[in-house]
Amino acid sequence: MYQRREITTQERIAQEQFCEKIKDRLAGRTHYGLVDTYGCQQNESDSEILRGWLVRCGYELTADEAKADIIVVNTCAVREHAEKRALGNVGALAHRKARNPELLVCVGGCMTQQPTMRERIKSSYRVVDLAFGPHELWRFPELLWGTMQRRGRRGDRGRLLAAEPSEGVVAEGLPRRRDGGVKAWLSIMNGCDNFCSYCVVPYVRGRERSRRPGDILAEAKDLVERGYKDITLLGQNVNSYGKGLDESADFPGLLESLDQIPGDYVLRFMTSHPKDATERLFQVMGGSGHCAHHIHLPLQSGSDRILKAMNRHYDRAAYLEKAAAARRAMPDLVLTTDIIVGFPGETEEDFRQTLSLVEEARFDAMFTFIFSPRPGTPAAAMPDPVSRAEKQVWFDELLALSNRISGEKHAAYVGKTVRVLVDGQTGQTPYNLSARTRGGRLVHLAGDLALVGRFVDAKITGSSTWALDGEIV
């Protein structure tokens, strides 16, 4: 049985001491660090911690590879494409290292946690000085110091591999360097206990472990006081929040508590597993003054047979009832989803059932993927007779349906005035600003750059499959 482990204050202080050792070693000139991120929002959040550690260790941050003295590649293992991209870019760093032998190359994240990939990095990617899994993020300074100490030794050239199997830890008080001042990620839990047959996340992220409500509330309050307007709560399955804590807590209750923090801001969250999404959650969202009326509820398939093979623990009828309950609580709900095309054993009839559910549910947006086998998961060993070409035909048909429905949904906004948060610049004309509705729909606007970080009213004047055009009123 999983035993929850929290990093102690003494362990965290020890990491600060390693930071000071590294800072002393770097003294004499400015050293630059770069963090390159692949994958999900949780990886983005982890990269903020990596940047925070680099700054504590004495590095200045840069986005220029040619300038960097250390490059940390934070990888993803959910799909093969993300792995190939990350490995390709890591391999390309060999040329940069040939020009600068002192360059430190570190590879972290979920990809590194896989045993087969760990061995592949060890044998084929000699450019890598340090490889570490997501469970080791809290002690990155210790690993970096160890790598520096080992450099120059005969044989391993200072290489350090730290990605042993782990069920994960809970670590508070880690430094963080966020980008911008409008949007913020706020992790409330990590790991996953669902073991969907296609998914590698439980194997690389470990078991579900929740942060304590008081720590989350303190961080959220600090973000609001510092002016962040769009806060996204993160977890592999936020609806399981509270599991393993020695105090009573659940996700709807956490949302209610966060909603009490005074200020003008929006609360979002991802990701929700349909089996754990409850009517109470929808009612809390609907009655909240800050919760976005948006829920990302991954469907994956509209076929009961395939859902069972995926180990999803719901059927199409249950999913549709959840969607209906959410819309009853929030008539203006924006509902988005994920769908996998071509799961092993999927037939034309199974795929048609997915299309029919999409027609019925009418998602505002969908993230669609062709099945990507992940080594070590049950689905990777299942018979898969359908050709890649046929799966592509299905994928294209699903994408066309998704685009049509999204286009129709967006067209219904035209003529309406909605409140939006201006969250950035587009660098384009005539719409130089980007904004988001409370439901997360992208809106292009024209206006003064001083509006970034402010809520404004916008009249929607045009739409496309992907976004809305508007004018500030």
Measured between alpha carbons, how far is 20 from 14 in angstroms, rounded to an integer? 10
Tell me: do 431 and 355 sit in the same domain. Answer: no
Within-domain flag for 330: yes
Alpha helix (H) ranges present in 192-303? Answer: 201-205, 213-225, 251-259, 279-287
Measured between alpha carbons, how far is 36 from 289 in angstroms, rounded to an integer? 36
* Reported pTM: 0.94
Q: What is the CATH number of the domain that holds 467?
A: 2.40.50.140
Cα radius of gyration rounded to whole Å, the chain: 23
Within-domain flag for 20: yes
- pLDDT for residue 342: 98
**Domain boundary at 411, 428, 447, which?**
411
Tell me: do 62 and 80 sit in the same domain. Answer: yes
Tell me: do 429 and 341 sit in the same domain. Answer: no
The residues, ordered by sequence, that sit 6+ positions from 114 with a Cβ below 8 Å of its Cβ are 77, 200, 203, 204, 375, 376
- pLDDT for residue 2: 64
Neighbours of 116 (CB within 10 A): 9
Q: Which residue has the tokens 């990701």?
A: 271
Q: What is the CATH number of the domain that holds 135?
A: 3.40.50.12160
Residue pair 276/240 in contact by the 8 Å Cβ criterion? yes
Tell me: do 19 and 148 sit in the same domain. Answer: yes
Evaluated on CA atoms 302, 306, 308, 311, the torsion sign reads negative
- pLDDT for residue 1: 53
Within-domain flag for 212: yes
Strand residue runs (E) in 342-464: 365-370, 417-425, 433-437, 442-445, 455-463
Measured between alpha carbons, how far is 295 from 409 in angstroms, rounded to an integer? 16
Tokens of 9: 């204050």
Tell me: do 241 and 389 sit in the same domain. Answer: yes
Tell me: do 421 and 398 sit in the same domain. Answer: no
296: enclosing H helix or E strand? strand 294-296
Residue pair 326/278 in contact by the 8 Å Cβ criterion? no
The one-letter amino acid code at 133 reads G
Nearest alpha-carbon partner for 240 in 249, 232, 228: 249
Q: Which residue has the tokens 């009828």?
A: 317
Within-domain flag for 357: yes
**Domain boundary at 133, 162, 191, which?**
162
Tokens of 313: 């623990």
Could you tell me whether strands 455-463 and 209-210 are parallel, antiparallel, or unpaired per DSSP bridges? Answer: unpaired
Tell me: do 125 and 22 sit in the same domain. Answer: yes
Helix (H/G/I), strand (E/B), else coil: 458? strand
Tell me: do 293 and 202 sit in the same domain. Answer: yes
In degrees, to the nearest 5, what angle opens at C-alpha 416 toward C-alphas 411 and 417?
135
C-alpha distance from residue 427 to each of 56, 135, 424, 453 (Å): 32, 38, 9, 16
Q: Which domain holds residue 261?
A: 183-411
Within-domain flag for 168: no
- pLDDT for residue 435: 98
Tokens of 247: 């105090």
The one-letter amino acid code at 167 reads E
Tell me: do 19 and 110 sit in the same domain. Answer: yes
Residue pair 105/131 in contact by the 8 Å Cβ criterion? no
Query: Residue 311, exposed/middle/buried by CB under 10 A (0-12, 13-18, 19+)?
Result: middle
Within-domain flag for 176: no
**Domain boundary at 358, 376, 411, which?**
411
Nearest alpha-carbon partner for 180 in 271, 44, 66: 44
Tokens of 253: 């209750």
Tell me: do 285 and 309 sit in the same domain. Answer: yes
Helix (H/G/I), strand (E/B), else coil: 216? helix
Residue 112: phi and psi, rounded to 5, are -70, -25
Number of domain units in the chain: 3
Within-domain flag for 436: yes
Within-domain flag for 55: yes
Nearest alpha-carbon partner for 37 in 142, 220, 177, 239: 177
Tell me: do 103 and 129 sit in the same domain. Answer: yes
Residue pair 40/13 in contact by the 8 Å Cβ criterion? no
Residue 398: phi and psi, rounded to 5, are -65, -40
pLDDT tens over the chain, length 473 residues: 567 899 999 999 999 999 999 999 999 999 999 999 998 999 999 999 999 999 999 999 999 999 999 999 999 998 888 899 999 999 999 999 999 999 999 999 999 999 889 889 988 999 999 999 999 999 999 999 999 998 755 445 568 888 888 888 999 999 999 988 999 999 999 999 999 999 999 999 999 999 999 999 999 999 999 999 999 999 999 999 998 898 999 999 999 999 999 999 999 999 999 999 999 999 999 999 999 999 999 999 999 999 999 999 999 999 999 999 999 999 999 999 999 999 999 999 999 999 999 999 999 999 999 999 999 999 999 999 999 999 999 999 999 999 999 999 999 999 999 999 999 999 999 999 999 999 999 999 999 999 999 999 999 999 999 999 999 99
Could you tell me whether strands 433-437 and 417-425 are parallel, antiparallel, or unpaired per DSSP bridges? Answer: antiparallel
Q: What is the four-CA torsion angle of 65, 90, 36, 105, rounded to 10 degrees?
A: -70
What is the side-by-side strand order in the sheet with 334-341? 294-296, 334-341, 365-370
- List, in sequence order, every residue forming a beta bridge with 456; answer none if it has no partner: 420
Tell me: do 325 and 458 sit in the same domain. Answer: no
